[in-house]
């Protein structure tokens, strides 16, 4: 559930259309999602082995630090705030805005609605709002329930779209562009490794959970795309930005469309609330270690919350949400995210050379071939994101590179005993 919860957000409710915008036949659409699922499974194999080799808390940050250099790990945390975590939250906030407008008919732009919800959650969390385990579990069940209902009702009651003429054009560039939203939707399995230090037997349970969780998500995602193509067809999927609502509208009329839109909107709010609650604690910890602005490491005397870290997260996500449309934000976020994925996967070669496999070590199936394919696929996805949105990709890469001198400044400052 932790693995699936880290992957399944709002992307699957919007990204089928994003893929259909870039490739235009059912075979290519489903093929892109199947290829993305295969790559996610290869990634799951790699992270499962890394988790058994380094079962401590910290996950990807820990693997990068131990395999390469603390500077690499710092840059990962740096872009987590300024690009990846924040970009993911911005993209989900835009998805919320799409469905909110469909529900209410509000005349505001997607950016304005996304900014409003992000800033509202920032304020709430500054007052020390807590997300209890029961609430988070309920939100996860809601996500799975919404997907299951969409698939079941769509297949049973949605009918079938009329057959359309086959598209004959094919371009590898289009496949590469289609993989950007697919890669975004499948991302998140790595977040389960953050809790490795709190598990009773991470060597056994985390490796199994990562692989099983990713397989479960692949099945869900392929089912969603199959029902969208059955009910809407490739052209209908390309023509809408809210495919889940259109499928439910075809099956149950406006009542069905409103029902699924409510479920998706609440799911996105749950994801955003959780991200706003948890991610700032990473930046707070970095500041306490002397590797970030000292004031970010302060707690509010009244609420006990890291208020400045929360405000920093909220403002950054709001700026990205206002900077472009959903697809543009994906190019921004995916560019840097898959650089860190590729470097983390390559770390497996380093650990295999340093430490032979011992008892309790999960061995990634097909290594080194599956690992090489994953690393090359990450490079390909980064290249596609740069080609699809060179301006946003350049900004994201500039932010990543800016983290290197920042690390040396803060590490030198810490060595002199100052914060």
Q: Is residue 311 part of a domain?
A: yes
The residue whose two tokens read 């920042």 is 406
Instruction: Answer whether residue 168 shows pLDDT above 60.
Output: no
Q: Say what angle helices 85-104 and 11-22 make with each other, to 10 degrees.
A: 90
Q: Is residue 358 part of a domain?
A: yes
Residue 84 is classified by DSSP as I
Q: What is the mean pLDDT of residues 315-320?
A: 85
Q: What pLDDT is stored for residue 276 in this prediction?
A: 76
For residues 250 and 233, is the Cβ–Cβ distance under 8 A? no
Q: What pLDDT is stored for residue 271 in this prediction?
A: 73
Q: What pLDDT is stored for residue 311 in this prediction?
A: 87
Q: What pLDDT is stored for residue 57 in this prediction?
A: 55
Instruction: Answer whether residue 385 shows pLDDT above 70.
Output: yes
Instruction: Answer whether residue 397 shows pLDDT above 70.
Output: yes
Read off the pLDDT band of 47 (50, 70, 90): confident
The residue whose two tokens read 């082995």 is 49
Residue 81 is classified by DSSP as I
Half-sphere exposure of residue 84: CA atoms within 13 angstroms, side-chain side: 23
Q: Is residue 31 part of a domain?
A: yes
C-alpha radius of gyration, the chain, whole number: 21
Instruction: Answer whether residue 418 shows pLDDT above 50.
Output: no
Q: Provide φ and ψ at 56, rounded to 5°.
A: -75, 170
Q: Name the pTM for this structure.
A: 0.75
Read off the pLDDT band of 131 (50, 70, 90): very low
Instruction: Answer whether residue 396 shows pLDDT above 60.
Output: yes
Q: Is residue 94 part of a domain?
A: yes
Higher-confidence residue: 21 or 175? 21
Q: What is the mean pLDDT of residues 58-73?
A: 83
State the CB neighbour count (10 A cutoff) for residue 385: 29
Which of 191-205, 216-230, 235-249 is most confident?
216-230
Residue 258: give its domain's CATH number.
1.20.1740.10
**Per-residue pLDDT tens over the stretch 14-36:** 788 888 888 878 888 898 899 98
Give the Cα separation of 309 and 340 in Å (integer).
23
Spatial CB neighbours of 114, under 8 Å, sequence gap ≥ 6 = 90, 93, 94, 96, 97, 318, 321, 322
Which of 242-251, 352-361, 366-375 is most confident?
366-375
- The first and second tokens of residue 231, run together, are 């009910």
Give the Cα separation of 29 and 227 in Å (integer).
12
Instruction: Answer whether residue 164 shows pLDDT above 70.
Output: no
Domain count across the chain: 1
Own/partner pairs for 110-113, CB < 8 Å, 24+ apart?
Answer: 110/325, 110/326, 111/321, 111/322
Q: What pLDDT is stored for residue 133 in this prediction?
A: 43
Q: What pLDDT is stored for residue 376 in this prediction?
A: 94
The dihedral formed by the CA atoms of 289, 292, 293 and 295, expressed in degrees to the nearest 10 = -40
pLDDT over 70 for what percent of the chain? 82
Q: What is the mean pLDDT of residues 50-67?
A: 79
Q: Is residue 419 part of a domain?
A: no
Q: What pLDDT is stored for residue 150 in this prediction?
A: 84
Instruction: Answer whether residue 372 shows pLDDT above 90.
Output: yes
Taking Cα atoms as reference points, which of 353, 418, 341, 388 lies closest to residue 36? 341
Instruction: Answer whether residue 129 shows pLDDT above 50.
Output: no
Write b or e for each residue in 99-120: b if 16 or more Cβ atoms lie within 10 A of its Cβ, otherwise e: bbbbeeeeeeebbebbbbbbee
For residues 213 and 3, is the Cβ–Cβ distance under 8 A? yes
Q: Provide φ and ψ at 360, rounded to 5°.
A: 85, 0
Q: Is residue 72 part of a domain?
A: yes
For residues 32 and 178, is the Cβ–Cβ distance under 8 A? yes
Q: What is the mean pLDDT of residues 113-130?
A: 78
Spatial CB neighbours of 18, under 8 Å, sequence gap ≥ 6 = 180, 181, 326, 327, 330
Give the Cα separation of 331 and 276 in Å (integer).
22
Residue 247: domain span: 2-414
Q: How would DSSP label each residue in 203-219?
A: HHHHHHHHHHHHHHHHH
Q: What pLDDT is stored for residue 135 in this prediction?
A: 55
C-alpha distances in Å from residue 363, one per residue of 48, 203, 341: 8, 11, 18
**pLDDT, the chain, mean:** 79
């Amino acid at each position: 559930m932790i693995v699936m919860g880290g992957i399944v957000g709002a992307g699957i409710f919007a990204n089928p259309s994003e893929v259909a915008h870039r490739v235009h036949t059912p075979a290519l659409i489903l093929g892109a999602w199947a290829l993305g699922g295969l790559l996610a499974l290869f990634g799951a194999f790699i992270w499962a082995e890394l988790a058994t080799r380094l079962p401590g808390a910290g996950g990807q940050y820990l693997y990068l630090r131990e395999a390469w250099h603390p500077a690499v790990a710092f840059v990962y945390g740096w872009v987590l705030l300024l690009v990846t975590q924040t970009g993911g939250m911005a993209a989900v906030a835009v998805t919320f805005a799409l469905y909110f407008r469909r529900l209410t008919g509000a005349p505001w732009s997607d950016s304005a609605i996304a900014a409003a919800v992000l800033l509202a959650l920032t304020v709430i969390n500054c007052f020390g709002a807590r997300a209890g385990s029961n609430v988070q579990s309920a939100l996860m069940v809601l996500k799975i329930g919404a997907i299951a209902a969409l698939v079941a009702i769509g297949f049973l009651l949605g009918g079938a779209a009329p057959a359309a003429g086959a598209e004959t054009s094919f371009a590898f560039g289009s496949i590469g562009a289609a993989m950007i939203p697919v890669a975004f939707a499948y991302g998140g399995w790595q977040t389960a490794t953050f809790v490795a230090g709190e598990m009773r037997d991470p060597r056994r349970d985390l490796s199994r959970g990562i692989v099983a969780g990713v397989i479960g998500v692949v099945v869900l995602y392929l089912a969603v795309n199959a029902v969208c193509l059955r009910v809407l067809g490739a052209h209908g999927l390309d023509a809408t930005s809210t495919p889940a609502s259109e499928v439910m509208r075809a099956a149950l009329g406006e009542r069905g469309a409103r029902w699924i839109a409510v479920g998706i909107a609440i799911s996105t709010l749950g994801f955003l609330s959780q991200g706003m609650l948890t991610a700032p604690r990473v930046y707070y910890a970095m500041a306490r270690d002397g590797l970030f602005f000292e004031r970010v490491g302060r707690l509010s005397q009244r609420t006990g919350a890291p208020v400045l870290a929360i405000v920093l997260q909220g403002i950054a996500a709001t700026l990205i949400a206002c900077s472009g449309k959903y697809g543009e934000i994906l190019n921004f976020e995916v560019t840097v995210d898959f650089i860190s994925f590729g470097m983390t996967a390559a770390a497996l070669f380093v650990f295999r050379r340093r430490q032979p496999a011992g008892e309790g070590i999960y061995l990634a199936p097909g290594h080194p071939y599956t690992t090489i394919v994953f690393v090359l696929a990450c490079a390909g996805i980064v290249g596609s994101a740069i080609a699809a949105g060179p301006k946003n990709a350049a900004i994201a890469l500039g932010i990543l590179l800016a983290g290197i001198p920042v690390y040396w400044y803060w590490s030198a400052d810490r060595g002199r005993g100052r914060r």
